Amino acid sequence: MARKVYYGPLVDVSFDGDVCRHAAECVRGMPEVFNTSKRPWIDPVNADTAERADYLREVIGRCPSGALVVEEHPAPAPASTPSCEVSVIDAPEASRFEARIDGVLAGFAEYQLTDQLVVFTHTEVDPAFEGRGVGSAIARYALDKLRSEGTHKALPLCPFIKGWIERHPDYLDITYGARPAQAQ
Ligand code: SF4
């Protein structure tokens, strides 16, 4: 089983069922987030204040197996950042969407084109530009372009694009094989 990510407003949580020892530290510690009788059984949406998010980190720290991991959201850009403007273009000769900040390549999403699909295979953001919305800008630009052209659907093999679409279910209609239930 692959590690699966559950999204919350302050922190995300990932879980690997293969290593879980079912010690139930998580369920005992924070039943409003870990509830095996619900689907999904992990719901970080309920860790919606800084205090609860801290407690969630503490509970996950007690997981004896390492099955649970806190996935911190990127830190917001510091106020002194000179420019945050991300410009995105399609660079079909390189089979990728490219994002630039102040003319410098900040990240890209590689794809392969078929008759009906844009298959997203890999997304990368330069660590120097992390936390500035580069990945998100690429995803939004690429998917808006697909929607406006109306000829291809997105097939997100890349975990970043897949996760982004899961957090933005209004793009499921242009995602190959997606059903509204996958928006959870
Ligand atoms: S605390 Fe960790 S090992 Fe225990 S049930 Fe939860 S996920 Fe599994």
The pTM (predicted TM-score) of the whole model is 0.53
pLDDT tens across 88-139, in order? 999 999 999 999 998 999 999 999 999 999 999 999 999 898 888 899 999 9
In Å, what is the CA distance from 111 to each residue of 4, 92, 143? 23, 9, 12
pLDDT confidence bin for 172, thresholds 50/70/90:
very high
Domains of the chain listed by start with CATH number: 4-72 (3.30.70.20), 86-183 (3.40.630.30)
* Relative orientation angle of helices 159-167 and 134-149, to the nearest 10 degrees: 80
Write down the pLDDT at residue 89. Answer: 96
Kindly give the distance from the C-alpha atom of residue 27 to the centroid of ligand 1, in angstroms, as a whole number: 8
pLDDT tens across 10-62, in order? 888 999 999 999 889 999 999 999 999 988 899 998 888 888 999 999 999 99
Kindly give the distance from the C-alpha atom of residue 35 to the centroid of ligand 1, in angstroms, as a whole number: 12
Instruction: Pick the atom of ligand 1 nearest to 15's CA.
Output: 7
